[in-house]
Amino acid sequence: MSRIVVRLEIRGRVQGVGYRWWARGEARRLQLDGWVRNRREGWVELVAAGPAAVVAGLIEACRRGPPSAEVASIERFDAHDDGLAGFEERPTV
């Protein structure tokens, strides 16, 4: 199965609602590699690597997010696979 890597820009009420913690848990449950972090501009950035169908499943889950989040939009970009292993939460930039 081929591995894809995507970068997501997730906007809406996604900071201060446990979104990063939730996304990390979803990605780990799906056994994807990558990371998630807050952006100072008020949105969440997420990079996910894995089988295309599994990454698509994470994107759909991210559209819903945790119960207290309100996702307004998700922009998807292709990303470079730099050997990501595991899924982590990164500091805000």
Tens of pLDDT, residues 32-67:
999 999 999 999 999 999 999 999 999 999 999 999
Across the chain, what does the average pLDDT equal?
Answer: 97
Catalytic residue (choose from 13, 20, 24, 39): 20
Q: Is 76 in the active site?
A: no
Catalytic residue (choose from 28, 29, 38, 63): 38
Q: Is 39 in the active site?
A: no
The reply to whether the predicted model has a pTM over 0.85 is yes
Kindly tell me if the per-residue pLDDT of 6 is higher than 90: yes
At 61, is the secondary structure helix, strand, or coil? Answer: helix
Domains and CATH numbers, the chain: 3-87 (3.30.70.100)
The answer to whether residues 49 and 9 touch, using CB atoms and an 8 Å cutoff, is no
Which residues, including other chains, have CB under 8 Å from residue 65's CB and lie 6 or more apart?
A: 10, 14, 17, 19, 22, 23, 71
Q: What's the mean pLDDT in 66-79? A: 97
Under the banding of pLDDT at 50, 70 and 90, the label for residue 1 is: low
